[in-house]
Structure 1
Amino acid sequence: MTTNPLDDATLSPFHKKLALFSSGGPFLDGYILSIIGVALAQITGQWRLNESEQGLIGASTLLGIFLGAFAGGWLTDKFGRKTLFTVDLVAIIVFSAAQFFVGDVVWLIVLRLLIGIAVGADYPIATSLLAEFSPRKYRGPLLGLYVTMWFVGAAAAYIFGEMLTGLGEGGWRWMLASAALPALAIVLARIGTPESPRWLAKVGKVEEANAVLEKVYGPGVSIADLPEEVKEGFNVRALITSGYGGRMMFVTVFWTASIVPLFAVYAFAPAILGALHLDGSMAQVGSAVITVMFMVGCLLACLVVNRMGRRPLMIHSFLWSGLALLLLGLFPSAPTAIVMALFIGYAVLIGGTQIMQWVYPNELFPTEIRGSAVGLASSLSRIGAAIGTYLVPVALSGLGIGVTMLIAGVITLLGAGISLVWAPETRGLSLAESAALGGKSSSRSRPVGLSQP
C-alpha cells in the first residue's frame, strides 16, 4: 500500500469540524422527512385529507430529493463544492419558513417538493467534499457518522413535534417551519469551508489547490502529493459508457433496497406503531425511541466498518434486519414489548446498510464524476423510496400492518442477496485505488464494471 500526506494524515480538528458541518444535510433530511409524519396527524383532520393526498405529501419531499441529488451532483462536479455547500441550505430556510403560511394541499406539496430538491442537492456536495479531505483510515467512519445525523434529526423531529402539538390546531405549521432554524445555524457554521483541492487540481487551479493543501495538511504538501486519480479525465458520460455503469447499478440497487422500507416507515411511523397497538403519545414516544436506536445502529456500524470490512458489514446488516421485519409481519398482534423489541432490532441492525449508502458511492468513483455518481445513485434510489412512501397508507388500510411489514422484510432480504453477489471490498484503500477500474477492490462476484482484467 502506497502512502502520501493526504491519505495517511492524522485526524485533525479541521476534519472533525468538516464532518460535523457536512452532516447538517442529513440532519435536516431526517428532521424534514420525520416531522411531516407528526404534522400529518393534525393536517389530515383539519383538511380532511384522503389516503392519496397523505401519500403525496409524504412522498413529495422524496421526489424533490430525486431531482435535487442529481442536479447537485452535476453542479458540484462542474462548479466545485465550496459555494454550493451553503447555497442549497439557504433554499431550505426559505421554503421551510414558507410552509407556515400554506393554505391548501397543492401548495404544501409544492413546498415539500422544493425542500426536497434542496436537501437532495446537499448530499453529493457535502459527501464529495468530506470524502476528498478524509484520510483513508477515517473515511469510512466519518462518512458513516455523516448518515448517523439523519437519525439525530429524525429523533429531534419526533420530540419537538410532540411538544409543538400542544400549540393547538396551528401546531403543525410551527412543526414544518421549525426546520428553518437548524438550517440557518448550519449555513453560518459552513461559512469559510475551503474548496476541495482534488477538484481544484482537476480544473487546473493549481495555486489555489496548493494553498488549501498547505493550510489543511501543513507546509510542503502540494498537488504533487495527490494521486493520479484526479488526472484521469473522466466526465459524467463515464457513468453510462464505461465500466462505471456496473458500479452505478450496484450502488443504486442496494441503496434502494435499504431505504424503501426505512423511508416508508419514517414518513408514517406514528400510524404504523398505532396499527401495532401503540396509540397516541405512545406512538410518538415509540417513534423517538426507535429513531435513537437507528442512530445507535449507525454508530455501532461506524465502529466496526474498518475491522469487519465493507462487504461483510452490509450483508449481515441486510440479513438480520430483514428477518426482524419478517417477524413483525408474521406476528403483528404480538405483545407491545415484543413489537418494540423487533422494531428496535431492525433499527440497530440496519445501521450497516445506512452508512454504506455514503461510503461505497464516494469510494467507487473518481473525483471527476464523484459528485454526479453520488447524486445519480441518490436520485435513482429515491424513486423506489417515493413509491414506497406513497403506498404506505394505502397498504396499511388495504393490506393491513402484517402484510405491509412482510413486504418491507422481503425488500430488505433482497438487499442481502444483492450484496452477497455484487458487493466489493474497499477497506484500507486510497480513493485512487478504490475508484480505479481494475483496481484493488475485490469481492467474490461483481456486476460488470466493478473491475476489469
Structure 2
Amino acid sequence: MSNIVLRGVHDVVSYIDSRPKISGRAGLIWWLALGGLFLDAFSNSALAAGLGPMTKDLHLSAIQVATLTSLASWVAIVFNPIGGWLADKYGRIPPLIIAKVLALVGAGLAAFAPSFEMVMAGRFFVGAAYGIDFAIAMALLAEFTPARFKSRLNTWQGVWYTAVSSNLILAVLFYNMGVGAAIWRYAVGSAGVVALIMFIFQLTYLVESPTWAARKGMLERAATYMTKIYKEPFVAADVEDRAPILNQATKGFANVALIFRGIYLPRTILAGTVQMAQSIQYFAVGWYLPIISLTLFGQNFVVATLGALVFNLFGILGGFMSPQIGKFFGLRKASALGFGAVFVMLVILGLFYETMPIFLAFLVPSLFILFHSGGPGANGKSLSTLSFRSELRAGANGIIGAIGSTGAALGLLVFPILKEDLGLGPTFLILSVVPLTACIICSVIKWDPTRTSISPDEETNAPQFKSDVALATALVK
C-alpha cells in the first residue's frame, strides 16, 4: 500500500470529507466525545431529579436552591474559555481527560457532603468539568465529521436528553429502594460512576485531532494521527512541498479577539444569541421540569418524576431529529422556527397552566421540549463549532459557551426566585420574551455554516492580526 502524502490542512480536511461515513476508530472517537457530553448532561441534571428531596433534607431556602443549582453554570462561564484556550494550544485530548477527573471529584464531594457548603464545593468541580469539556468535545466532533454530515453535530442534543432521562429513571429506582430524602446523594453519586467509565474509555481510545495538528503546522504529527485513526499509511510532505497555512492565528489567548472581527462578528453574534437564549429557556424551564411537574401533577414524587420523564422523552425525540431538521432548514432557520414555537408554548403555559386539563398539562411542556431540542437547543453549539477555523474553534466555543453558561446561570437563578415571588404563570410570560427576541435576531442574520461549501479552515478572507490592511479587507468582504 502506497503512502498518502499530506501537504497541509487541505489534504487532511479533504480526506476526512471524502469518507462515506463516520466509522472505525473515527466513529469510536466520535461516540466517545458524545459520551463525554452525556456525562456533562448527566452531572448537570443529577441535582434536578432529587432537588425536591434535597431541599427538604438540607432545609434549603429559595435563595440557597437558586445559588446551588446555578453554581455549576457560573463556574462554567470561567472554565469555558479556559478549556477552549487549552484545547487550541495543547490539543483536544488532555483537557478532555482532565475534565473527567474534575467531574469524578465533584460527584464524590457532593454525594458524601455533610453540609450545604460541601455540596456547593462539589458543584464547583462539576461546573469546571462541564466548562472545559463541552467546548472541546464539540470541536473534536466537528474535526472528525465529513462536511456533508455537518448537521449530525446536533446529535449531542439527543444524547443530552437521554442523559437527563436516565437520571429520572434512576431517581425512581432509588426511590423504590427506600433511600428516602437521601435520594439526591445517589443521583449525584451515580454521575461519579459515569465519569470514571468515561475517563477509562477516553484515556484508552481517543486520538488527537489531525486537523488541529495540521493547522498548528505539525504535519508529521497529523500524519501519525491519521494513520492511527484510518489505518492507512499517511506521511508528511517534504517541507519545501508543503502548502502554506492560510491566516494562521498565533497570538495565543489573544486569538479570541478574532471572533469579534470581520466576517466572524455576525457568526459570533448569531451563535452567541442562540446559545444564551436556548440556555435561559432550557435551564429556567426544562431543567426545573421535576419541580414544575410537582406543581402541575401534585406532590407525589414518583408521579411528578414520571411526568418529567415524559417531557424529556420528547427531548430525546427532538434531539435525535435535530440533525435532519438542521439539514432540511439549515441551522439558522431551524433555530428561528424553534424559538418562535417555544415562545408560543411559554405564552400558553403562562396564561392557562392553572386551568389546563391534564392532557394539555402534559402536552404543552412536552411540545416546549420538542421544539427546543429539535431547533435552538442543539444549534447554538453546532453554529459556533462550524463557524471558525481549527486553531480558533475550541477557543470560540469556549467564549460562546461562556455566553451560554451565563444564560444557564441566569435561568437557574431567576426561575425559583420569580416562581416564589410572582407565581408560575407570570414567570412563564416573562421568560417568553427570551425566545421571541432570539427568533428576531436569527431572522435578521443570514450566516449558516451548513449552507456554504467552504471550510472555515480554508477561508482566505478570515480576520487575522497581521495588519490593518488584512482587517480592512476582511471587513469589506
Q: What is the TM-score when the length of structure 1 is the normalising length?
A: 0.90
Residue 434 of structure 1, CA deviation: 8.0
Unmatched runs of 5 consecutive residues or more in structure 2: 1-10, 250-254, 463-471
Shift of 1:262: 0.5
TM alignment of 1:239-318, pairs within 5 A: 239-240=259-260, 242-280=262-300, 281-318=302-339
What amino acid is the match of 2:224?
Answer: A
Which residue is equivalent to 2:347?
Answer: 326
1:230, 1:102 → 2: CA distance? 51
1:215 aligns with 2:237: no
SS in 2 for 1:169: helix
Corresponding position of 1:422: 445
8 Å CA contact 1:246–1:450 kept in 2: the answer is no
Does 2:30 align with 1:19? yes
Quote the residue 1:10 is aligned against.
Answer: 20
Q: Which moved more, 1:185-194 or 1:286-295?
A: 185-194
Deviation at 1:275, TM superposition (A): 2.2
Q: Secondary structure at the match of 2:449?
A: coil
Q: Is the 8 A contact 2:220 2:235 kept in 1?
A: no
User: What is the CA-CA distance between 1:417 and the residue it aligns to?
Assistant: 0.8
Q: Letter of the aligned partner of 1:418 in structure 2?
A: I
Distance 1:104-1:452 versus aligned 2 partners, 3 A rule? farther
Q: Which entry has the higher C-alpha Rg, 1 or 2?
A: 2
Encode CA deviations 1:374-395: one digit per residue, 9 max, x unaligned.
0110112211221221121111
The answer (yes or no) to whether the contact 1:96–1:176 under 8 Å persists in 2 is yes
2:90 to 79, 83, 88: 79
The aligned length equals: 441
Q: Identity rate of aligned residues, in percent?
A: 24
Give the C-alpha shift of residue 438 in structure 1.
5.3
Cα displacement (A) at 1:157: 1.0
RMSD between superposed Cα atoms in Å: 2.5
**CA separation of 1:425/1:450 partners in 2, compared to 1, >3 Å: closer, same or farther?**
farther
Cα distance in 2, alignment partners of residues 134 and 229 from structure 1: 23
What amino acid sits opposite 1:232 in the alignment?
A: N
Contact 1:93 1:184 in 2 (8 A): yes
1:375 corresponds in structure 2 to 398
**Structure 1 contact 19–146 (Cα < 8 Å) conserved:** no
> What does residue 48 of structure 1 align with?
59
SS at match of 2:256: coil
- Aligned with 2:120 (options 104, 109, 112): 109
TM-score (norm 2): 0.86
> Of the candidates 412, 427, 436, which is equivalent to residue 389 of structure 1?
412
Partner of 1:361 in structure 2? Answer: 384
Distance 1:132 1:323 in 2: 36
Q: Report the Cα offset of residue 92 of structure 1.
A: 0.6
Q: Does 1:158 find its partner at 2:168?
A: yes
Which one of the candidate residues 413, 418, 426 is aligned to 1:403?
426
Which residue of 143, 168, 172 maps to 2:180? 168
Of 66, 75, 79, which residue of structure 2 is paired with 1:64?
A: 75
Question: Shift of residue 278 of structure 1?
Answer: 4.3
Residues 1:88 and 2:88 are matched in the alignment: no
- Return the alpha-carbon distance in structure 1 between the equivalents of residues 385 and 370 of structure 2: 24
Q: Distance in 2 between matches of 1:228 and 1:433?
A: 16
CA deviation map 1:51-101 (0-9, x unaligned): 100101110111122122111001101110122222211111122012122
Alpha-carbon offset, residue 189 of structure 1: 1.9
Partner of 2:371: 349
Query: Among 191, 196, 220, which residue is 1:184 paired with?
Result: 196
